[in-house]
Amino acid sequence: MNPPFLMLFVGTDIAFMALHLLHTYSGFFLDPQYSLTKERGFAETFQYLKEGWIAALLIQFTFRTPGLLYPIWSLLFGYLLVDDLFALHERLGARIAGHYGLPPMLALRPQDLGELAVTAVAVGFFAILVGVGYYRADAAARSFSRSLLGLLLVLAFFGVVVDMIHVMIAHPAWTLAIDIVEDGGEMVVMSGIVSFVFHAIHRGRPALLC
């Protein structure tokens, strides 16, 4: 990790969380763009920039080192960027739920089940690609990938697990807190990933998470 770089990004994330609170509870910053949950709002846009930057940074490894892992990781973050920009899994999830007539289950709406199905397909697709790339990669690329995978699992916890908990609870008293945990958690983890990849690029080679 690159501590100054990480502190700068996480500090910005915390600022967006504070703006979200002011937007919700005060008479200031009334523009919906200040909300963490606003699609293509200020906080979401910052997240898009991080995802795009990670994809671009990983492309540099593609030209520096042989193997498939780095372009696969770059493709993954490119997918995350496109998914966030155009709400792909939400739209496809709604279509799947409507087309197959999915019933509510475990306090989840049909659309939530459709979104989980889309996410599962995407995870499976990239897991196969990463597995193939990992099998053919050198030790440095494998170490880098294990660290990056660990960060992605934390990101998935906030983006999938906490999101589903949010849907299951669906209580106004908990909405703000879960919004902060879910969206704020995703932002902080993505900042950690940017810092990790940037640090690896700065060192001129893949690095362990340290």
Q: In this predicted structure, what is the pLDDT of residue 62?
A: 80
The rounded distance, in Å, linking the Cα atoms of 58 and 136 is 18
Q: In this predicted structure, what is the pLDDT of residue 107?
A: 81
Residue 208 falls inside a structural domain: no
Q: What is the 3-state secondary structure (H, E, C) of the chain?
A: CCHHHHHHHHHHHHHHHHHHHHHHHCCCCCCHHHCCCCCCCHHHHHHHHHHHHHHHHHHHHHHHCCCCHHHHHHHHHHHHHHHHHHCHHHHHHHHHHHHHCCCCECCECHHHHHHHHHHHHHHHHHHHHHHHHHHCCCHHHHHHHHHHHHHHHHHHHHHHHHHHHHHHHCCHHHHHHHHHHHHHHHHHHHHHHHHHHHHHHHHCCCCCCC
Residue 73 falls inside a structural domain: yes
Closest Cα partner for 48 from 73, 78, 14?
78
Q: pLDDT tens digit string along 88-136?
A: 999 999 999 999 999 998 788 999 999 999 999 999 999 999 999 999 9
Which residue, chain included where needed, has tokens 């979200």?
20
The crossing angle, in degrees rounded to 10, of helices 88-100 and 110-135 is 120
The rounded distance, in Å, linking the Cα atoms of 166 and 172 is 10
Mean pLDDT value across the chain: 90
Amino acid found at 124: G
Q: Is the pTM of this model over 0.85?
A: yes
Greatest Cα-to-Cα distance within the chain, rounded to the nearest angstrom: 57
Q: In this predicted structure, what is the pLDDT of residue 209?
A: 44
Residue 210 falls inside a structural domain: no
Q: Say yes or no to pLDDT of 210 above 50.
A: no
Q: In this predicted structure, what is the pLDDT of residue 208?
A: 44
Token couple for 110: 């049909």
Number of domains the chain is built from: 1
User: Residues 24, 18: contact at Cβ < 8 Å?
Assistant: no
Range of the domain at 45: 3-203
Compute CA distances 141 → 121, 149, 205, whole Å.
25, 12, 9
